[in-house]
Amino acid sequence: MKFKSVFDIIGPVMIGPSSSHTAGAARIGRVARDLFGRQPAWAKIHLYGSFAETYKGHSTDVAIVGGLLDYDTFDERIKTAFEEAEKLGMSYEFIPETGNVDHPNTARIVIGDEKSEMSMMGISIGGGKIEITELNGFPLRLSGNHPAILVVHDDRSGCIANVANCLYKYDINIGHMEVSRKERGDMALMVIEVDQTVDVEVMGELRELPNITQVTRIAD
């Protein structure tokens, strides 16, 4: 199955009673898995606002787990995601939160295995569309309207120029770019929305650039 991007709804069929609480939740889970790069061994899922209040009745819980198993919004296997997760040995925990958030349909997903862990916050904005607003403590805003790459790097001079020059070499146009860092000279993050999908060759070259620690693609 081919899609334009991991955020896009393909066709009108979506599993569940609510596009924002079910289809959007599945997409949030799937993007978390995509960013993690592999099947997580465990997941802690913090739910806020209406997600926290109605996650069982609206199947938000099973949808997120389905997304973590790499199921798309129209995949019938979402209905049995809990059972499939158990077969794969993936444990999960849902934690309803009472804190204030900017959007009522908000989830923070913390996933990991014996190698590493990752934290991501996403919101479901309706119609199966989502936005990713935080990754490992870095604030960001991915609209999902374009393919994107996320580059984790050391905060060193020349990193941004090297990445931009690499994309230029392959005639990949940057539509939007954000850069943030935790502290001066510490870890930093580039979020780059582009006009076309970045292929494997380009991803490999980006990973070989100096001071680059991780490159992730959100597109297909």
| Boundary-marking domain end, from 134, 168, 203 | 134
28 and 106 share one domain: yes
* Domain with 124 in it: 4-134
Largest pairwise CA distance in the chain: 50
* Chain segment 26-58, per-residue pLDDT in tens: 989 998 998 888 999 999 999 999 999 988 888
pLDDT of 4 reads 43
Classify residue 140: in a domain, yes or no. Answer: no
| Boundary-marking domain end, from 82, 99, 134 | 134
Classify residue 130: in a domain, yes or no. Answer: yes
114 and 205 share one domain: no
| Boundary-marking domain end, from 107, 134, 161 | 134
21 and 109 share one domain: yes
* Chain segment 101-124, per-residue pLDDT in tens: 888 899 999 999 999 999 999 999
Q: Please indicate, yes or no, whether the overall pTM of this predicted structure exceeds 0.85.
A: no
Instruction: Report DSSP letters for the chain, one per residue.
Output: ---S-TT---SS--SSS-IIIIIHHHHHHHHHHHHHTS--SEEEEEEEHHHHHHTTTTTHHHHHHHHHTT--TT-GGGGGHHHHHHHHT-EEEEEE--S--SSSEEEEEEEE-SS-EEEEEEEEEETTEEEEEEETTEEEEE-SSS-EEEEEEES-TTHHHHHHHHHHHTTPPEEEEEEEESSTTSEEEEEEEESS---HHHHHHHHTSTTEEEEEEE--
37 and 111 share one domain: yes
119 and 177 share one domain: no
- Paired strand residues for 94: 45
Which residue stretches of the chain have pLDDT < 50? Answer: 1-13
pLDDT of 211 reads 95
22 and 117 share one domain: yes
pLDDT of 3 reads 40
pLDDT of 20 reads 59
CATH label of the domain that carries residue 123: 3.30.1330.90
71 and 173 share one domain: no
Classify residue 141: in a domain, yes or no. Answer: no
CATH label of the domain that carries residue 211: 3.30.70.260
pLDDT of 19 reads 59
pLDDT of 8 reads 41
CA 209 to mean position of chain CA atoms: 23
pLDDT of 89 reads 96
Burial 185-211 (b: 16+ CB within 10 A, else e): eebbbbbbbbeebbeeebeeebeebee
Q: Which residue has the tokens 């059972």?
A: 83
Q: How many domains does the chain have?
A: 2
pLDDT of 141 reads 82
92 and 41 share one domain: yes
